[in-house]
Amino acid sequence: QVQLVESGGGLVQAGGSLRLSCAASGRIFSTNAMGWYRQAPGQTRELVATITGGDSTNYADSVKGRFTISRDSAKNTVYLQMNRLKPDDTAVYYCNADITPATRWGGRQGPNLAYWGQGTQVTVSS
């Protein structure tokens, strides 16, 4: 079983900062691309930022220059540093990871699968 656990959400004033973390655990052979998505009330889930296994990054236009995605591959963890937050950034933030599962003996088990975290609320007050 593979799980993604997010942390770091909360309430912050506009202009403030938050740092989200997402750790993958369980039977993992390899962790490939990881990313953050968000969903505001009444809206569809949208991409915020992604990072590949080779550390190439991609950002939504709305967060470029304010958010930074990074990862610690040894810990199967991805981070999202959010600066100069705006009320429009208010949403539930979800971690996503493309993971190759492992057998109980540590070998590769099957194809890559996409996993999601449970979400963490970020609220930015004006």
Task: Tell me which residue has tokens 């304010």.
Answer: 66
Whether 1 has a pLDDT exceeding 90, the answer reads no
Percent of the chain at pLDDT > 70 equals: 100
Segment 106-113 mean pLDDT: 91
Q: For residue range 14-42, what is the model confidence (pLDDT) as tens digits?
A: 999 999 999 999 999 999 999 999 999 99
Which pLDDT band, with edges at 50, 70 and 90, does 117 fall under?
Answer: very high
Query: What φ, ψ does residue 87 adopt, rounded to 5°?
Result: -55, -30
Intra-chain end-to-end CA distance of the chain, in Å: 41
Q: Which two tokens stand for residue 35?
A: 């990313």
Taking a C-beta distance cutoff of 8 angstroms, is the pair 54, 73 a contact?
Answer: no
